[in-house]
A and B are shown apart, each in its own frame.
Chain A
Amino acid sequence: MSTGRSLADQQRALVEALVAGGDVPPGFAAAGVRATRIALRRKRAGEVARTWPFLAASFGDSWTATFAAWADGRPPQGSLRDGWDFARSAGDTLPPLAREELAGREAAFTYDGHRAPVPRGRVAAWLRRLGSRTG
């Protein structure tokens, strides 16, 4: 059943089904695609846990499930950004160690949520750290 779509379009449809909340494209076994979706989110959770160890540790055993739920429909941006976006969305509910981890990164990088984080200069980073601790 050729749909006449190009390889590029077909691949894009599959990726969207897997990470961006798209529908399973026609002809694919839904069970396999769904299982892949889940495995993908689990893998992402593991990678974010490596880059944000305190963030992940603060959720204990429920980290994978919690992160996977948040990541549903959100395409991966890399573990640094994924963890960052997740931590920001969690806001004040984070325990102190995780908040410290986030604060440290906020001080060291400028991140607008849309583009890759940019490291700040050392003096700027130090000043921000000072500010975030007294403020």
Chain B
Amino acid sequence: MAGPGDTWGIAGPDFLWLYAGLAGLAIVTAFVWRRTYLRGPSLRKAKDLTPTQAALLNGDRRLAVYSSLAALRAGGAVSSDQRGTLKQSGGLPAGAGELDRAVLDTARRTLKVKNVLKDRGVVDVLERTEEQLTLAGWLLDADRRRGVKMAAIIVFAAVAIGVARLVAGIMNGRPVGFLVLMVIPVVIIAFLFLRVPRVSSNGRRLLTRMRMATQHLSPRQSPSWSTYGPEAAALSIGLFGAAAFFAADPAFAAEAELQRHVATSGGGFSDGGSSSWSGGSDSGSSSSSCSSGSSCGGGSSCGGGGGGCGG
């Protein structure tokens, strides 16, 4: 079947089929390889994360600081002035974590929120917590990241073969159009496989599992931090993102100049467009559920009805 002048002695259409199979095999192998390295520790045996840990997995160090601020706010331990400077207004709430203590300490020294992230005590706790998470495997360590990237090599090998055939084909003066069309997606996939997330797959699943168990803390419910307590407030930020802070304590969030778009709110959290966004990250609603204006339109008594005169 190979005709005279065929590149490498394989007919064009035959090679395309062969290449499709080869590339397909490479991609599947790489995918499985990636998944193994990305997985992370066993979900079944996993205990729930602390609010600080959840924040570090869901977002970043900033979100972890915010979650501590939430605990301190709910416990009446900090306040902020108009210029975003923290002040201590009460003692450490019961059940406070290490990071909460470190952040309260910065409030005692009246730091601005943006400088809290640079404080030695705070950075120390954050680093140690990140190390714990990495050791446990929730965050991917350097070795695993390398392992994940190696999967990409398999796909790049397939790319190389395709490119070699392309070059040979061009030098032979054979048509290469279809081959180009086939190689392009493989190249794209190879580059996509170079991307390594920060968090292991089971880490993300653990966050989802925790969110499902704490739906009452979702910003959609406008949870009452004073009822649930400081640890729950911290968890609501850790699991549902900074937007939850703006929903629960907008005055402080605004004064302290918190960044709203830190981390996702965990999905399924559409809002009626009451907040603008930058960077396209999934920001949560900054208002309660009555943004649809329909049934709540006529005097909105959602949760406020009943008996006599409202105070």
Contact = CB atoms under 8 A, between A and B. Distances in A.
A–B touch (CB < 8 A): the answer is yes
A73 interface: no
Interface string B256-299: 00000000000000001111100000000011101111101111
Interface in A114-135: 116-117, 119, 125, 129, 132-133
Given A43-B310, A51-B291, A105 B300 contact: no
Interface size class of A (residues with CB under 8 A): 35 or more
B13 interface: no
A36 B296 CA distance: 23
B208 interface: no
A53 B247 CA distance: 7
A100 B309 CA distance: 32
B132 interface: no
A36 B309 contact: yes
A51 B287 CA distance: 6
Interface string A6-43: 00000000000000000000000000000010011011
A104 B247 CA distance: 15
A104 B275 contact: yes
A132 B273 CA distance: 13
B276 A103 contact: yes
Interface in B227-253: 246-247, 250-251
Nearest to A117: B293
Contacts of A101: 274-275, 286-287
Interface string A83-121: 000000000000101001101110111000000110100
Contacts of B309: 36, 39-40, 43
Given A80-B293, A80-B296, A101-B287, A54 B250 contact: yes
B246 A53 contact: yes
Contacts of B125: none
A104 B276 contact: yes
A75 B28 CA distance: 65
Interface bin, chain B:
20 to 34
Contact of A54 (B254, B272, B273, B291): B254
B219 to A, nearest CB: 11
B129 interface: no
Given A46-B310, A101-B286, A129 B276 contact: yes
A75 to B, nearest CB: 10
Nearest to B302: A50
Given A107-B276, A108-B272, A116-B297, A47 B311 contact: no
A53 B310 contact: no
A108 B274 contact: yes
B3 interface: no
A52 B287 contact: yes
A74 interface: no
Identify which of B247, B273, B297 gathers the most chain A CB atoms within 10 Å of its CB: B273
Contacts of A54: 246, 250, 254, 286
A46 B226 CA distance: 18
Interface in B180-208: none
Given A43-B310, A50-B288, A100-B276, A79 B300 contact: yes
A134 to B, nearest CB: 12
Contacts of A103: 276
Contacts of B274: 101, 104-105, 108
Given A39-B309, A42-B310, A80-B297, A47 B304 contact: yes
Interface of B: 222, 246-247, 250-251, 254, 272-276, 286-288, 290-294, 296-302, 304, 309-311
Given A50-B290, A54-B246, A56-B250, 16 more contacts: A39-B311, A40-B309, A46-B310, A50-B304, A51-B288, A51-B290, A57-B250, A57-B251, A60-B251, A79-B299, A80-B300, A81-B293, A95-B254, A105-B291, A109-B272, A129-B273
